[in-house]
A = this chain, B = another copy of it.
Amino acid sequence: MSAEERVREAVAGRREEVNAAIGEQLPIQRPEQLYEASRYLLDAGGKRLRPTVLLLVAEALTDIEPQSEPYRSFPGLDGSPIDVMSAAVSIEVIQSFTLIHDDIMDDDDLRRGVPAVHREYDVETAILAGDTLYSKAFEFMLETDALPERQVRALDELATTCTEICEGQAFDVSFETRRDVTTDEYLEMVELKTAVLYAAAAAIPAILLGADDEVVDALHGYGLDIGRAFQIQDDVLDLTTPSEKLGKQRGSDLVEGKQTVITLHARDNGVDVDGLVDADDPEAVTEAAIDDAVAELEGVGSIEYARDLAQELVASGKERLEHLPENEARGLLCDVADFLIEREY
């Protein structure tokens, strides 16, 4: 089996349990419409990659065979049972809250193949559904039965992560109207907007289960590395994957004038990035025009640069896992890192 197949199996093997846990912790209750709207995107699907990472870290850290212990009372390093599933649900709920609010801000109509929450309901309900998920995530993180000092640390990690996600989104929005964004600024934005939630997913189970600071820090770094690699790979795939596989127009970032690590590298190497495709009429951009643009980006090595960067990050992330005991779950966490850059869509 390839890394991708093993990851897909690991995710699939936990998805039903994660979904059941979401249903248990976020039942449809009064006021019904609010909770229906809060559940809407969570029920529409999603890979559940972050909860899977969180559960795998718990298993790797404690050297327990994958899926052999109940996640609701998972044996901590000092033996006391921890509800790591509640922490996994918390992280997934934060992810869902950010998507709901981001879709309002970007006025995106579709998400996971269904209407965005503000389209299915309305903007008011979508704001409120996101706000509800926000506080629910903190409630869930308080339901792990971990020692109080560990709960405090986990909550601190969660709160800081949420602040950083907001900062990342603010940077992303501000970049739209700037033409002097540096690669460092872009990578900082990606770290804040995307990578910190992977870092929280990897570090929080270690905190709750009682790992040493060194291990917590290493896992946090693993999450940051793979989260950044994930976003950079997304930027690459937008240019290199056929539209039908991608589920959206290939080169949409170029058409929309979105800056990525690829276009920033190209700009720094003399390419007139704004002139790569004629964005006046997005509908009229042909596959051939995208091909030409991609060829020009390849010519100055920008796509290669992005691929190398993603690969370096993945290598760094995997190295950090050496702080964990060698076992099947750790192998799967390595696979997750590989999968993020090996995937084709």
Q: Cβ of A30: which chain B residues have Cβ within 8 Å of it? A: 167
CB contact under 8 A between A156 and B174, given known A34-B166, A132-B163:
no
Q: Cβ of A166: which chain B residues have Cβ within 8 Å of it? A: 34, 128, 131-132, 135
Q: Which of A155-186 contact B (CB under 8 A)?
A: 155-156, 158-160, 162-163, 166-167, 169-171, 173-174
The prevalent SS among residues of A at the interface is helix
A33 touches B170 (CB 8 A): yes
Cα separation A171 to B124 with both chains bound (whole Å):
13
0/1 per residue, A122-156, Cβ < 8 Å to B? 01110110111011101100100001110110011
CB contact under 8 A between A127 and B155, given known A31-B170, A31-B174, A166-B132:
no
A50 within 8 A of B: no
Closest residue of chain B to A37 (Cβ to Cβ) is: B170
A152 touches B159 (CB 8 A): no
Q: Quick one: which of B128, B134, B136, B167 contacts A170, CB cutoff 8 A?
A: B128
Cα separation A33 to B167 with both chains bound (whole Å):
10
A159 touches B138 (CB 8 A): yes
Q: Cβ of A127: which chain B residues have Cβ within 8 Å of it? A: 101, 104-105, 127
Cα separation A29 to B125 with both chains bound (whole Å):
31
Cα separation A193 to B128 with both chains bound (whole Å):
12
Instruction: Give the one of A101, A135, A155 with max B CB within 10 A.
Output: A135
Q: Cβ of A101: which chain B residues have Cβ within 8 Å of it? A: 127-128, 131
Interface size class of A (residues with CB under 8 A): 35 or more
CB contact under 8 A between A162 and B148, given known A127-B101, A155-B142, A156-B139:
no
A159 touches B174 (CB 8 A): no
A25 to chain B, nearest CB (A): 12
Cα separation A160 to B140 with both chains bound (whole Å):
11
B148 touches A124 (CB 8 A): no
Chain A residues near B (Cβ < 8 Å): 30-31, 33-34, 101, 104-105, 123-125, 127-128, 130-132, 134-136, 138-139, 142, 147-149, 151-152, 155-156, 158-160, 162-163, 166-167, 169-171, 173-174
Q: 6 tightest CB-CB pairs across the interface, nearest first?
A: A135-B162, A148-B148, A34-B170, A138-B159, A148-B149, A105-B124
A and B contact pairs by CB, cutoff 8 A, 18 listed? A31-B174, A34-B166, A34-B170, A105-B127, A105-B128, A125-B170, A125-B173, A131-B166, A132-B166, A136-B159, A138-B158, A139-B163, A142-B152, A142-B156, A142-B159, A148-B148, A148-B151, A152-B152
